Amino acid sequence: MGSVTVYGPPISPAVSRVLACLLEKDVVFNLVNIDMSKAQHKSPDFLKIQPFGQVPAFQDEHTTLFESRAICRYICDKYADRGNRSLLGRRGGGLVERAHVEQWLEAEGQSFNPPSSTLVFQLAFARQMGLPQDPAAILLNEGKLAKVLDVYERRLQESRFLAGDEFSLADLSHLPNGHYIRAGGKEEFFTSRKHVARWWEDISMRPSWRKVVEMQRTPPA
């Protein structure tokens, strides 16, 4: 086994973001389940590597990290010569290409993630946790998400992927929440927009992401 370990359940969107990145990069990793129903993410040992008590946490030899997007950047920088080499801009693409990936990765984190995370919780997790859905929160965040995807539609009319011609971390980072929103019966957010539909089909059929979805269906023992 390799020196890389991810701590957290694959059904967590943030954990699945890191798994998709590791699979794109052909980096071998161990997955250690954290049973959140038993509050293992709030245990003193876990808080030493993830002080906010969230998942995932990540370890590579003596380096520990948290925050899924920061972990993905580290994986791309550390394993620059493995697997997909254009997740943070092509080799030789220079700092402007990396900046375009960063720009759309931040758009995901700041514009797409807030409404889509609320929808993922409402559509996928609330019922599992025995909590009632909040129709007002769903409506409010559907409106916010629609506005974000309207911007994406215009962008994806002129560009195959968000940051340019190549699949990048910026696209990958949308897969976890997008997957749950579609599975929660809200496919029309993606299918009703021609270029967003083409983009989603493209990125969600990648072998890396199909493998993550399979891991979500067959959680570790």
- How many other C-beta atoms are found inside a 10 Å radius of the C-beta of residue 159? 15
How many whole angstroms separate alpha carbon 180 and alpha carbon 79? 29
Taking the chain, what is the end-to-end CA distance rounded to the nearest angstrom? 18
Q: Which two tokens stand for residue 215?
A: 């891991």
114 binds its own copies per the rule CB under 8 A: yes
133 binds its own copies per the rule CB under 8 A: no
> Binding its own copies by CB under 8 A: which of 3, 30, 106, 219?
106
x/- binding map, residues 44-63, to its own copies, per CB under 8 A? -------xx----------x
How many whole angstroms separate alpha carbon 221 and alpha carbon 123? 26
x/- binding map, residues 7-46, to its own copies, per CB under 8 A? ----------------------------------------
Q: State in angstroms the smallest separation of the CB of 141 from its own copies.
A: 13
> Binding its own copies by CB under 8 A: which of 42, 91, 127, 154?
154
> Binding its own copies by CB under 8 A: which of 73, 85, 174, 179?
73
Considering beta carbons, is residue 51 or 219 the nearer one to its own copies? 51
Q: State in angstroms the smallest separation of the CB of 33 from its own copies.
A: 22
- Helices 207-217 and 13-24: angle between axes, nearest 10 degrees: 140
Across 197-211, b (16+ Cβ under 10 Å) vs e yields: bebbeebbebebbee
The β-bridge relationship of strands 29-32 and 57-60 is unpaired
174 binds its own copies per the rule CB under 8 A: no
Sequence-separated (6 or more) residues with CB below 8 Å from residue 77 = 88
Q: Which two tokens stand for residue 152?
A: 């994406």
Considering beta carbons, is residue 62 or 217 the nearer one to its own copies? 62
Query: How many CA atoms within 13 Å lie on the side-chain side of 138?
Result: 14
Using CB under 8 A, list all residues that contact its own copies: 51-52, 63, 65-67, 69-71, 73-74, 77-78, 95-96, 98-100, 102-103, 105-107, 109-111, 113-114, 148, 151, 154-155
